[in-house]
C-alpha cells in the first residue's frame, strides 16, 4: 500500500500532487489543512471590478470547525471557491494540506480537490439519479476505483449521520435535512483533509440548522478534517471551535 | 460509470424517445442494406454465378455487352499462358413471347446469353437438360423465368425473325440488368441477335469468358486487342448498375449523416441540461476523461441497444417483403449497417464533448449566487 505522502510546507514549489489512496484509509500526518495568506479576489463584472475577497488570512487546523458568518454578498462563496481550488485568487497564497496551489495546473487542481477536499453545497449538490449509497460510491469511482470494496465504509458513514435506513433512497425521496446529511457523508467519503460547506443550512428550519452544525462539528472532530462552514445563519454557532465574521471580503474575529 | 447507467433509467422517457429514433433509423438501415444488396444481385447475379475470373470486352465499351463486339476467333488468340479457360459469350436483351400452346402469348424479358454448348460456362440444369446434347435452338432458363410460369417444353419467340427457342431446362443462372437470364447455344444466339454477324457473315460475340490462373495479368487481353476486366469490374456495365449503387450509397450516406446530427443535437441538449451535474462532478475532482467517458458510455449504451432492437425489427419487416422485390439480406450488410450507425452516432456525440470539458466546476457553487 502506498503511504499517503503529503507535500511538506516550505518544500518549495510542489508541482505534482502525490497520488494518494485516501479511500483505503491509510493513516497520515496531515499538516495544517488550509492556509490562506493575503488572499485577494477581484471579479471582473463588465467594466467594473468587484473586490470579493480583500486580504484574507486564514489558517484552519485538522479537526477544527471554523464557522464564517457573513451577509449575502460578503464573499462567502468566493472564499470557499478559492479555498476549494475552484478559483485562483487574484493575489495571495493558498495551501491545502501543505500544497501551494499557485503553481498547479488545472488537472492538478482537479486531482487535489478529489484527494484532499470534500464539498457540501448549499442545496446538497446531490445527483438526482443516485441513491444515498451510490452518492458515496461515486466518490470512489471518480477516484478511479471499483465501488464494491468501498461499500462497507460508505454504509458506515451514512449510518454515522443517521441515515442507516435511507441507503437506497434517492434525493427526491429524502427530506432537506436528510439530503444535507448525505452530502456530509459524501464529503467525508474521500477522507479529505479539508471540508468546505457553503450555507448548508440555507434550506433548513432553525432546529435542523443547529443540528446540521452539530453534526458537522461531530464529524470534523471524529475524522480530523479541517472544516470551514460559511453561512449567514447564526443558528448552532455554539458548536463551532471558532467563529469569524466576513464583511465586504474582510475577515474579523467574531 | 454509475451516473451514466442510473441516468439512463431515471431519465428513461427522454432516452426512450431518442432510442426510438435511433431504432427506426436502424430499421431503415436494414431495409436499405437489403435493397442495396438485392439491387446489385438483381443487376449482376447472372455474371456473379459465371465460373469465370475475368471477362474480355471491346476496348472503349466500358463493360457494356451491347457495345462490345469481337470476332469469335478472339477466343483462340486469348488462349495461352495464364489462361486456364476461355469461351465465347454473347449477351443481348430481348422481349420474348412465351408460347405455351393455345393460351394467349405472354411477353417476358430475357437476357439471352449465347455460349458454346460444351463450354465451361454452359449452364448446369437443375431441371430438364442442359444445352449439350439437346435439339435445335435450345434454351435453358433461369429459376425466375420458371417462377413466372415458363416450363420445360414451352417456346420463347425472340428476334426480328420470330425465332422460336425451345425451353429444355431450368438452371440457377440468376439475372442480369434486372432481367432473368436464359442460355442458348452460340449459333442460335448469333442468328437472333441483330449485329451478331458482320456484313460479310463473320460471327461476332460480345465477350470472352475467361478463367485466369491466379498469377496471370489482365495483359493477356493484348493478345487479341481486347480489354480484360475482372468479373467485379464488369458489373459496372450492367444496365442501371452504376446509377443504382450510387443512389443507394447516397441514401445510406445521408441516413448516417442524419443519424449523426440527430444524436449530436440530442446530446448537446442533454449536456446543457446536465451542466450542473457535470460541474458538480468536476468540483469533486472528476477528470475530463471521467466526465467525457461517462457521457460517451451513455451514448454507446443507447446506440447499441437501439440499433440492436431496430435491426431486429428491420429483419422481421424484411422477411415479409414481397418475393419479387430485389431484397437480399446478408449477415455482413446488416451487421455493417448497424456498426456504421453506432459509429455515426458516436461521432455525432463528439460535438457535445467540448461542452462537457468546458463546464466550469464553479457552477457547483453557483447555485448560491
Ligand atoms: N463571477 C462573478 N463575477 C462578478 N462578480 C461576482 C462574481 N462572483 C461573485 N461576485 C461578486 O462578489 C461578491 C461576493 O460574492 P459571493 O462570494 O457570492 O458572496 P456570498 O456567497 O457571501 O453571497 C458579490 O458582490 C458578488 O456580486
Ligand atoms: Mg454564496
Q: Do A113 and B283 touch (CB under 8 A)?
A: yes
pLDDT given for residue A21 in this prediction: 58
Instruction: Considering only CA atoms, give the Rg of chain A.
Output: 18
A237 in contact with chain B, both atoms CB, cutoff 8 A: no
Tens-digit pLDDT profile for residues B28-65: 999 999 999 999 999 999 999 999 999 999 999 999 99
Tens-digit pLDDT profile for residues A107-152: 999 999 999 999 998 876 899 999 999 999 999 999 999 999 999 9
For residues A9 and A14, give the distance between their C-alpha atoms in angstroms, rounded to a whole number: 9
What DSSP character marks residue B124? P
Is the distance from the beta carbon of residue A52 to the nearest atom of ligand 1 less than 6 Å? yes
C-alpha torsion angle, residues A188, A194, A197, A198 (rounded to 10): -140
Q: Which residue of A has its CA nearest to B280?
A: A125
Tens-digit pLDDT profile for residues B133-189: 888 999 999 999 999 889 999 999 998 889 999 999 999 999 999 999 999 999 999
Is the distance from the beta carbon of residue A48 to the nearest atom of ligand 1 less than 6 Å? no
Is the distance from the beta carbon of residue A208 to the nearest atom of ligand 1 less than 6 Å? no
B47's enclosing H/E stretch is helix B12-48
For residues A191 and A27, give the distance between their C-alpha atoms in angstroms, rounded to a whole number: 10
In B, which residues are within 8 Å of A198 by CB distance? 365, 368
For residues B193 and B187, give the distance between their C-alpha atoms in angstroms, rounded to a whole number: 10
Q: Which residue of A has its CA nearest to B291?
A: A142
Give the rounded percent of residues in chain B with a pLDDT score beyond 90. 73
Taking the CA of residue A72 as reference, the ligand 1 atom at the shortest distance is: 23
For every residue of A167-205, DSSP letters joined together read TT--GGGS-HHHHHHHHHHHHHHT--SEEEEESTTTTS-
Quickly state the pLDDT bin for A30 (edges 50, 70, 90): very low
Quickly state the pLDDT bin for B196 (edges 50, 70, 90): confident
Query: To the nearest whole angstrom, how far is the Cα of B365 from the nearest Cα of chain A?
Result: 7
Looking at residues B252-257, what average pLDDT do you find? 94
Looking at residues A51-71, what average pLDDT do you find? 95
Tens-digit pLDDT profile for residues B59-106: 999 999 989 999 888 899 999 889 999 999 999 999 999 987 766 778
Measure B217 CA to ligand 2 centroid, in angstroms. 80
Looking at residues A168-192, what average pLDDT do you find? 95
Measure A112 CA to ligand 1 centroid, in angstroms. 24
Show Cβ contacts of residue A50 under 8 Å, excluding neighbours closer than 6 positions.
A42, A43, A44
For residue B366, pLDDT over 90 is answered with no
Pairing, β A48-60 against β A34-45: antiparallel
In B, which residues are within 8 Å of A232 by CB distance? none
Quickly state the pLDDT bin for B195 (edges 50, 70, 90): confident
Looking at residues A87-112, what average pLDDT do you find? 94
Mean pLDDT of chain B: 91
Taking the CA of residue A79 as reference, the ligand 1 atom at the shortest distance is: 17
Residue B209 C-alpha cell reads as 469468358
Domain boundaries, chain B: 2-43+242-363, 51-230
Residue A205 C-alpha cell reads as 428550519
CA angle A178, A184, A185 (to 5 degrees): 90
pLDDT given for residue A44 in this prediction: 86
Which of A42, A47, A74, A78, when mutated, tests ligand 1's pocket best, judged by the most ligand atoms within 8 Å of its CB?
A78
Q: What is the pTM of this model?
A: 0.81
pLDDT given for residue A249 in this prediction: 94
Tens-digit pLDDT profile for residues B261-290: 999 999 999 999 999 999 999 999 999 999
For residue B260, pLDDT over 90 is answered with yes
Taking the CA of residue B368 as reference, the ligand 1 atom at the shortest distance is: 21
Instruction: Considering only CA atoms, give the Rg of chain B.
Output: 29
Put simply, the chain A residues between 72 and 131 with a CB less than 8 A from any chain B CB are: 76-77, 80-81, 84, 86-87, 107, 110-115, 117, 119, 121-123, 125, 127-130
Angstrom CA distances, B257 to B163, B302, B341, stand at 53, 18, 9
Please, are residues A188 and A224 in contact by the beta-carbon 8 Å criterion? no
Please, are residues A182 and A124 in contact by the beta-carbon 8 Å criterion? yes
Give the rounded percent of residues in chain A with a pLDDT score beyond 90. 77
A140 in contact with chain B, both atoms CB, cutoff 8 A: no
What is the ipTM for the molecules in this complex? 0.86
Tens-digit pLDDT profile for residues A192-223: 999 999 999 888 888 889 999 999 999 999 99
A138 in contact with chain B, both atoms CB, cutoff 8 A: yes
Amino acid at each position: 500500500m502506498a503511504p499517503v505522502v503529503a507535500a511538506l510546507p516550505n518544500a518549495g514549489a510542489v508541482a505534482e500532487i502525490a497520488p494518494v489512496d485516501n479511500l483505503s484509509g491509510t493513516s497520515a500526518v496531515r499538516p495544517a489543512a488550509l492556509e490562506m495568506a493575503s488572499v485577494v479576489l477581484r471579479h471582473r463584472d463588465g467594466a467594473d471590478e468587484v473586490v470579493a475577497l480583500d486580504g484574507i488570512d486564514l489558517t484552519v487546523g485538522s479537526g477544527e470547525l471554523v464557522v464564517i458568518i457573513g451577509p449575502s454578498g460578503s464573499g462567502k462563496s468566493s472564499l470557499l471557491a478559492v479555498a476549494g481550488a475552484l478559483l485562483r485568487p487574484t493575489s495571495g497564497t493558498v495551501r491545502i494540506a501543505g500544497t501551494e496551489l499557485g503553481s498547479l495546473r488545472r488537472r492538478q487542481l482537479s486531482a487535489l480537490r478529489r484527494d484532499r477536499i470534500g464539498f457540501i453545497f448549499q442545496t446538497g449538490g446531490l445527483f438526482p439519479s443516485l441513491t444515498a449509497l451510490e452518492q458515496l460510491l461515486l466518490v470512489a469511482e471518480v477516484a478511479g476505483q471499483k465501488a464494491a470494496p468501498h461499500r462497507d465504509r460508505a454504509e458506515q458513514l451514512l449510518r454515522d449521520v443517521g441515515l442507516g435506513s435511507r441507503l437506497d433512497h434517492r434525493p427526491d425521496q429524502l427530506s432537506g435535512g436528510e439530503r444535507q446529511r448525505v452530502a456530509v457523508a459524501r464529503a467525508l467519503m474521500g477522507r479529505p483533509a479539508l471540508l468546505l460547506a457553503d450555507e448548508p443550512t440555507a434550506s433548513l428550519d432553525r432546529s435542523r440548522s443547529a443540528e446540521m452544525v452539530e453534526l458537522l462539528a461531530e464529524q470534523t472532530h471524529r475524522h480530523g478534517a479541517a472544516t470551514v462552514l460559511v453561512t449567514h445563519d447564526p443558528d448552532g454557532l455554539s458548536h463551532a471551535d471558532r467563529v469569524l465574521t466576513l464583511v465586504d471580503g474582510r475577515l474579523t474575529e467574531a | 460509470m454509475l451516473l451514466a447507467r442510473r441516468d439512463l433509467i431515471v431519465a428513461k422517457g427522454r432516452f426512450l424517445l431518442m432510442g426510438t429514433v435511433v431504432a427506426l433509423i436502424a430499421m431503415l438501415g436494414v431495409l436499405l442494406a437489403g435493397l442495396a444488396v438485392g439491387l446489385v444481385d438483381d443487376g449482376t447475379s447472372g455474371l456473379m454465378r459465371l465460373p469465370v475470373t475475368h471477362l474480355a470486352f471491346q476496348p472503349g465499351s466500358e463493360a457494356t455487352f451491347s457495345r462490345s463486339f469481337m470476332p469469335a476467333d478472339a477466343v483462340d488468340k486469348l488462349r495461352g499462358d495464364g489462361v486456364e479457360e476461355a469461351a465465347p459469350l454473347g449477351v443481348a436483351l430481348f422481349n420474348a413471347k412465351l408460347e405455351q400452346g393455345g393460351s394467349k402469348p405472354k411477353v417476358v424479358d430475357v437476357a439471352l446469353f449465347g455460349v458454346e454448348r460444351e463450354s465451361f460456362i454452359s449452364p448446369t440444369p437443375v431441371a430438364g437438360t442442359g444445352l449439350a446434347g439437346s435439339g435445335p435452338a435450345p434454351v435453358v432458363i433461369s429459376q425466375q423465368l420458371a417462377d413466372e410460369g415458363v416450363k420445360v417444353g414451352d417456346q420463347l419467340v425472340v428476334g426480328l425473325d420470330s425465332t422460336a427457342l425451345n425451353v429444355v431446362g431450368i438452371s440457377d443462372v440468376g439475372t442480369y440488368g434486372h432481367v432473368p437470364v436464359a442460355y442458348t447455344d452460340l449459333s442460335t444466339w448469333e442468328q437472333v441477335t441483330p449485329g451478331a454477324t458482320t456484313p460479310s457473315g463473320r460471327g461476332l460475340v460480345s465477350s470472352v469468358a475467361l478463367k485466369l490462373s491466379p498469377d496471370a495479368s489482365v495483359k493477356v487481353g493484348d493478345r487479341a486487342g481486347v480489354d480484360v476486366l475482372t468479373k467485379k469490374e464488369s458489373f459496372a456495365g450492367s444496365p442501371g448498375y452504376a446509377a443504382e449503387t450510387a443512389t443507394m450509397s447516397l441514401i445510406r450516406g445521408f441516413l448516417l449523416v442524419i443519424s449523426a446530427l440527430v444524436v449530436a443535437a440530442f446530446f448537446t441538449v442533454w449536456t446543457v441540461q446536465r451542466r450542473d451535474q457535470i460541474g458538480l462532478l468536476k468540483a469533486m475532482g472528476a477528470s475530463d476523461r471521467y466526465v467525457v467517458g461517462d457521457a460517451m458510455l451513455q451514448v454507446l449504451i443507447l446506440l447499441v441497444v437501439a440499433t440492436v432492437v431496430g435491426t431486429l425489427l428491420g429483419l422481421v419487416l424484411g422477411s415479409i417483403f414481397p418475393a419479387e422485390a430485389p431484397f437480399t439480406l446478408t449477415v455482413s450488410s446488416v451487421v455493417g449497417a448497424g456498426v456504421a450507425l453506432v459509429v455515426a452516432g458516436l461521432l455525432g456525440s463528439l460535438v457535445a464533448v467540448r461542452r462537457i470539458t468546458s463546464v466550469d466546476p464553479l457552477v457547483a457553487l453557483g447555485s448560491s449566487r
